[in-house]
Structure 1
């Protein structure tokens, strides 16, 4: 696996930010490259779409450029990522080709890394609900929720 070094360093960085106890992977079985402290589950991409929700994992890793996932139509790839993003995982890591960048950006993922491995340009994308959207400065009580003005002004 060409991205073994990238994945191990990425997992170490993610574990330092927040503990990872449970994780799942789709597209390629990466459980052999990860620390033993993580409880990994590997799923086939087509079977995963039919699985019911049973638990929320700390991390999900999807390797989109692998044949098992890349053979799926774009619509099913999007459904797979949305199911992981919204339902199954707190944090989502997607490893994909450069040609899938627009699709991943449209699904709300942010690019973490752009790596050229074995003459193949791979991009690492992430989705973390905790830092998905930065809170704008105007969205605070100083501008809109002033209880001291409730009986003074008519809106």
Structure 2
């Protein structure tokens, strides 16, 4: 099984932005086609099976720059996928890219259904390039560096009050 060409190009372009000094984790179904990445980045691959256990399989020495998760709900189910994405988001990687097919196939269990609200509930955003995809895939991302935009009021201009420094002490 392989990703459609447009989805594969989007994933590989995202992986290329990591650079040569970053580590990338690819979590994909067993027997899934390999993804290529230009440069000398360190790529680790973790294969999803129906016997996948997050507690034993997702143990890392240090964080990855990017984790790419492909078609997890179809293999391990919706609940386990939510737990895995939350773990990768919180502990395993600075950024997570989730690539899931939109329409369930006939072989999938009922609890493997995935929706946009599942992504949003985990703090994921739709990848900008995903809007132009012709394939029927969801591509959502989480990046700790742009997860929350710093509000304007959260700077010293609003709370320092330097004109009172010589007059009052608190």
Question: Which TM-score band (shorter chain)?
Answer: 0.7 to 0.9
Following superposition, the deviation at residue 44 of structure 1 comes to: 2.7
Q: Secondary structure at the match of 1:40?
A: strand
Tell me how far apart the structure 2 counterparts of residues 132 and 72 of structure 1 sit (CA, whole Å): 27
Count of residue correspondences: 148
Q: Trace 1:98-117 onto structure 2 (pairs within 5 A).
A: 98=102, 99-112=114-127, 113-114=130-131, 115-117=133-135
Instruction: Give TM-score, length-normalised by structure 2.
Output: 0.71
**What is the root-mean-square deviation of aligned Cα atoms in Å?**
2.7
Paired residue for 1:149? 164
Match of 2:100 among 93, 96, 99: 96
Q: 2:69 touches 2:97 (CA, 8 Å); kept in 1?
A: yes
Paired residue for 1:85? 89
Matched, 1:50 2:56: yes
Extract structure 1 runs of 4+ deviating beyond 6 A.
Answer: none
Structure 2 vs 1, CA of residues 93 and 32 (structure 1 numbering), >3 Å: closer, same or farther? closer
Following superposition, the deviation at residue 36 of structure 1 comes to: 5.2
Gaps of 5+ in 2: 103-113
More strand by share: 1
Instruction: Give TM-score, length-normalised by structure 1.
Output: 0.77
Structure 2 vs 1, CA of residues 59 and 101 (structure 1 numbering), >3 Å: closer, same or farther? same
Tell me how far apart the structure 2 counterparts of residues 34 and 152 of structure 1 sit (CA, whole Å): 61
Partner deviation per Cα, 1:93-116 (whole Å, 9 max, x = no partner): 001244421101110000011434
Q: 1:8 touches 1:33 (CA, 8 Å); kept in 2?
A: no
